[in-house]
Chains A and B, each alone.
Chain A
Amino acid sequence: MNAPAFNENLHLLNGNHAVAWGVRLAKPDVAPLYPITPQTPILEKLIDFQSKNEFDAELLTPESEHSAMAAAIAASATGARVFTATSSQGLLLMHELLHYASGARTPMVLFNVNRTPGAPWGFWPDQIDSLSQRDTGWIQFYSENPQESLDTVIQAFRISEAANLPVMINHDAFYVSHSIEPVNLPSAEVVDGFLPRIPREFQLGDDSGRSLGAPLDQAGWNLTRQDMDVAMQGVERLTAAAGGDWAKLTGRPAAPLELYRCEDAEVVFVTMGSMCGNAREAVDRLRENGIAAGLLKVRLFRPLPAEALREALAGVPCAIVLDRNYSPGTGGVLHQELKAVLFGIETPPRLHGMLAGVGGVNVPVETIEKLAAEYRNAAPSAQPIWVE
């Protein structure tokens, strides 16, 4: 993303504090929070805002992320706007309830800081924590930088409340969570206007006497998933609309996918999160050296924008997926997803799956440049390739 134009709303914030600002502006009613490195600065900043009377959500500090998510679901079901944040072990501890939240169609925003899960213990940027939750029915965004994290938090509340589906936004540990950049803070009026309160069709404690989540028969359960499918299919459009409106208000676009210099590209990198920064730089250098490279950034990962991905990659001779995650037994998750999406199209790219940056190892611009040189004319292998 281009450096924001200088103005008085520009603040130097790290990624996590940018998230906290987004949350403060979105004004959730309830926020259950549990600390974990490297998410903790989000929690700390929100508690700091609250202690200065700048943020008046009901803050809950339960004994675990599991209970944080349980409280979040119950609060959302009772009509509250809800935010929570976690990382790695905490997200994985929530797993049972992630399914519950989407099944109960409870809107909420969860911010996850992508971190390696143990064992062995590590605190490093790696996206397998959230990618392994891809089947839980959550909308998933991956953010590249602090500004995008703030903007996505605000847009996510609108998307979540329109789709009645929970949203998980992810940014990489340290590379984004702790790196300080100039961030433009939108005004409270802009955010209030962007995020009106929509009355719920049903909430616990209304006078309908209806219950939520009671057991039902096979056909009924099946229908809940068909309903969810319809809702999921509307998310890409909601994301584009929210991003379009946000761009009108702030000048910052936010689409499900971002294409950078992909016109006439002979090789396109496909990746998510902080990796996009170095990949963009590599694209510029490759183009300077006469290699027509491009970058396809996947911002919305669930639901996967399948048609848009096909359109972006059809006819491109070669695509190199940079996966900062490793799914044992298959390879990179984004690589798998792209293989599925591109299967059967007429002119698919040669698709290379790179395990780049697993465990948080740095992937310098030069490494990405070299991948283009080495693989752009090579036949793809079925096995993933570990990038040194």
Chain B
Amino acid sequence: MDIVFEKVEHVYNARSPLARRALYDVNVAIRSGAYVAVVGHTGSGKSTLLQHLNGLLQPTSGAVKIGEETITSHKRPNQLKPLRKKVGVVFQFPEHQLFEETVEKDICFGPLNFGVPEDEAKRKARELIKLVGLSEDVLVRSPFDLSGGQMRRVAIAGVLALEPEVLVLDEPTAGLDPRGRKEMMEMFYRLHREKQLTTVLVTHSMEDAARYADEIIVMHEGTVWGHGTPEEIFRDADKLTAIGLSVPETVKLKQQLEKRFGVVIPSPCLTLEQTAEAIEQLFVKGERP
């Protein structure tokens, strides 16, 4: 599903003294099947942007087009449920949404709401619990007996169980241990490719954005500051630093090397592998000092 934002503005508590403009003049297109990372300083409007993707928030002006549906300030589809089935959202700290007696029931909750038969939902729960890196015997436990990280995984499984076409992730790995983070990110990437999902990931990790995303949207103070491939976005480190962001460590390393040795490294050095290769090239070419 293609997603298009046209002149989207969102004001919280509109028409009251507490009004607060969280988004303005957002024009952005996300093509079907893309992996898009949304980065930006805290409070820049990332979460607000995401909630427009499945009609949880309506723009106060402008329009959001999601596939066939168009959502504007005065019009939204009478039936939001089909849209919510297609667009799965993992919120910031999704563990707060758990409520059932057992993990299995909680994972099945979403699918059952959308009319999936019970045995089918249960089968899916068994499959997903392994996918998110937990063992099957967790299924019969209460979600409230689990650790924070385990709860997070269960909540994510609960959203994946909807089998959405568009997967929206709001800082899904915040607070996980390094290995858990890597596993999770790899898992999302695998799903993205295997199921041809459209993935929108909000992250504070420039490394993750560089490694996984096809495109990066940079939010700044409520509007889109930049939109491009990781290579384009991370080309100008100073500008990013000025709005409170940074470039991946590997890009910093590349810049240091270029400065020290007075060479130009053609590779964008977005991942460790690319960087290692670029350094190898330096040695092979014999350009080392």
Partners in one complex: no
Q: Which residues of A pack against B, CB within 8 Å?
A: none
